[in-house]
Chain A
Amino acid sequence: KNEVEQSPQNLTAQEGEFITINCSYSVGISALHWLQQHPGGGIVSLFMLSSGKKKHGRLIATINIQEKHSSLHITASHPRDSAVYICAVRVEGTSYGKLTFGQGTILTVHP
């Protein structure tokens, strides 16, 4: 079993729909990242969380440390949101960039 599990693996939505991607992890962490990877491979860091909730535009990320679970929400989804969304955790006691990555969620938003 992977230390970081994402669900769903694939997600298809219609433009305007509210989207949720989930991430569960089985280790103690010091931080959790949500990343966006576009076709061609470039990665953008969306959020870094250690507790609570963060919001940026139409994106909202939450984390529940006790339950070892995080969610990424996209409100009013748009075709340009189509990408792979990756959850990555920094395990407690490890160096800053030593992230353990989930397998990613492929999101496709249709117009």
Chain B
Amino acid sequence: GAVVSQHPSWVICKSGTSVKIECRSLDFQATTMFWYRQFPKQSLMLMATSNEGSKATYEQGVEKDKFLINHASLTLSTLTVTSAHPEDSSFYICSARGDREKLFFGSGTQLSVL
């Protein structure tokens, strides 16, 4: 079945550094991928929609200059958290739309900013 690979699974970084998270569709093409964030004990929330070959669409309240999304190919979307701060510490997960409107999720990335 369709698989979405996300890495790294976890990352610890110092405040002020940038972190890149990759999301790949392994056996299908994904023109659209989605990035979500989950704070501890809270629901997942959509951050942005990543569109291949065009600019991402960000949800209200999500800073586009802080969370840079690049979707340069049909199988890869990246989320870069720029100048990360402790309040950016969260669980980030991507998903991609496959056949028959199924949604396939990555395994998620736990980001801890010190």
Please say whether chains A and B are actual partners in one complex.
yes
| A residues apposed to B, CB below 8 Å | 2, 4, 31, 33, 35, 40-45, 48, 86, 88, 95-99, 101-104
Query: Is B45 an interface residue, CB under 8 A from the partner?
Result: yes
Stretch of B12-20, B67-75, B80-88, B94-102 that contacts chain A = B94-102
Query: Do the beta carbons of A43 and B93 come within 8 Å of each other?
Result: yes
Which residue of the partner chain, among B34, B43, B106, B108, contacts A101 with CB atoms under 8 Å?
A: B43
Complex Cα gap A31–B97 (Å): 14
The answer to whether B91 and A88 have CB atoms under 8 Å apart is: no
Interface string of B26-56 (1 = CB under 8 A from A): 0000001110001000111110010000000
B46 touches A98 (CB 8 A): yes
Interface of B, secondary structure class, is strand
For A4, the chain B residues whose CB sits under 8 A away are 43
The answer, among A43, A48, A101, for a CB contact under 8 Å with B101, is A48
With a cutoff of 8 Å between Cβ atoms, the chain A residues found around residue B104 in the complex are: 45
Chain B residues within 8 Å of A35, by CB:
105
Q: Give the Cβ gap from B21 to chain A, nearest Cβ, in Å.
A: 13
Please give, as numbers and ranges, the residues of chain B lying within 8 Å of A86 by CB-CB distance: 43-44
With A42-B106, A97-B32 known, 10 other A-B pairs at CB within 8 A are A2-B43, A4-B43, A35-B105, A41-B107, A42-B108, A43-B105, A45-B104, A88-B44, A101-B43, A101-B45
